[in-house]
Amino acid sequence: MDDAVVAPALRDAHVHPYSGMDFAALIAFGVARVRDLGSRLGAGEPLPRPADCADPLPEIELGGPFFDRPGPPRLSLAARWDSAEELPGLLDDAVTRGARWIKLYAAFPQELFGFMVREAHRRGLRVALHPAPGGAEAAIRAGVDELEHLACLVPDGDGSKRGTHVLNHRWAHRDPDARWPNLPPGTRLCPTLVVQRKLIEHAASAWAFPGVPGNLAAFWRRMPTTARPWSEQEIAWARAAEPRMHETLLRLADSGVTLVVGSDTPNPGVLPGQGLWEEMCLLVRAGIDPALVFWSTCVRPPAWPASGDDPLMFLSLPSVRSFLAGEPGPVAPVLATLLRGCVFVPNGAGVSESVSQEAR
């Protein structure tokens, strides 16, 4: 491995592991750890455990179940709860399963944010929140640990119209002097810019998702945002929204907001591993210091020098240079990933396979 750069491996902070997910693709892109923010695993399915070095599986930071509105869940993975008294018991269950995070979703009642955060923190669980538009302030007041996506930064208006196109329209027409969004320094924010990018890329082909296996493409076409083709006008709003989002994020990062880097795989067009690098490249293109982007994404050893147990990745010099330069373009798998003492080398198909056991 001539001219390889060794670096800490990566953590994707926002993933929904799904059945049939290509975990090997994560390893192929140097992603050694993923944080589950809502999945069958979080809902109680057993965690996959790596058998040996032939098993390219990242570490999974388990999230709880995720919590949306009370009553019958509108999302199959959300926890069923009918009254607030049931919530502490569900948090206890999450702790028993080894969860470290729970996620509150857009329809979780705002008046319960504070209660849920206190109950979660008492149990050592941290709280990620995907608030509805206009919901960032209430989330911060309630002490949530992290905000997901940029949608919550947009004022809710009169609340009568919501959805992707309304939000894109608001971003696209944002007055440069507008006072939103405003987040206090230290707020942790996971922007998931790649979701917007992929929607723009694939809307133009009416969700054909060329080159993507049929079952995954069909799964994406059943999602609410992609259930029908977007009109020219809707695509234009999405395109115009993107630079406004990037400018805003740069301003927030400059004002002391803490960046958390995650891909929100599997949103439409967002692939495991590749999606995280695309997110990192978008952050660099938005003007954020590449060193900060990298530092915010890597699995950081608790102490330096590292113990030798920390996951590492090996990158080619040209790929490091193009990342530092913020060059757009296709991202490539890494040369190799070292995890649990196993070296995984991506094969030509982008799938990892172990080539040697005990590397230490």
Q: Which residues bind Zn ion (CB under 5 A)?
A: 264
Q: Could you tell me the sign of the dihedral formed by the alpha carbons of 202, 205, 206, 209, in that order?
A: negative
For residue 14, the minimal CB distance to Zn ion (Å) is 6
> Closest residue (Cβ) to Zn ion?
264
Type of residue numbered 174: R
For residue 234, the minimal CB distance to Zn ion (Å) is 21
Q: Quick one: which of 292, 311, 293 has its CA closest to 301? A: 311
With tokens 């008046």, the residue in question is 111
**Which tokens is 197 given?**
């990018």
In terms of CB distance, is 87 or 270 closer to Zn ion?
270
DSSP annotation of 255: T
Q: What is the DSSP string of 184-227?
A: -TT-EEE--HHHHHHHHHHHTTTT--TTS-HHHHHHHHTSGGGS
Cα–Cα distance for residue pair 69/217, rounded to 1 Å: 28
Q: Are strands 352-356 and 342-346 parallel, antiparallel or unpaired?
A: antiparallel
Cis check for the bond before 290: say yes or no (omega within 30 of 0): no
Which helix (H) or strand (E) element contains residue 358? none
For residue 322, the minimal CB distance to Zn ion (Å) is 28
For residue 348, the minimal CB distance to Zn ion (Å) is 31
In terms of CB distance, is 264 or 278 closer to Zn ion?
264
For residue 38, the minimal CB distance to Zn ion (Å) is 6
Cα–Cα distance for residue pair 309/360, rounded to 1 Å: 9
For residue 278, the minimal CB distance to Zn ion (Å) is 16
In terms of CB distance, is 12 or 55 closer to Zn ion?
12
For residue 149, the minimal CB distance to Zn ion (Å) is 8
Identify any residues that bridge with 337 across adjacent strands, giving them in sequence order: 313, 344
In terms of CB distance, is 8 or 42 closer to Zn ion?
42
DSSP annotation of 79: P
Cβ atoms of 36 and 14 within 8 Å: the answer is no
For residue 53, the minimal CB distance to Zn ion (Å) is 31
In terms of CB distance, is 168 or 337 closer to Zn ion?
168
Cα–Cα distance for residue pair 82/89, rounded to 1 Å: 12
Helix (H, G, I), strand (E, B) or coil at 67: strand
In terms of CB distance, is 264 or 310 closer to Zn ion?
264
In terms of CB distance, is 119 or 264 closer to Zn ion?
264
In terms of CB distance, is 36 or 310 closer to Zn ion?
36
Cβ atoms of 31 and 17 within 8 Å: the answer is no
Type of residue numbered 206: A
In terms of CB distance, is 25 or 104 closer to Zn ion?
104
For residue 160, the minimal CB distance to Zn ion (Å) is 25
Cα–Cα distance for residue pair 78/39, rounded to 1 Å: 8
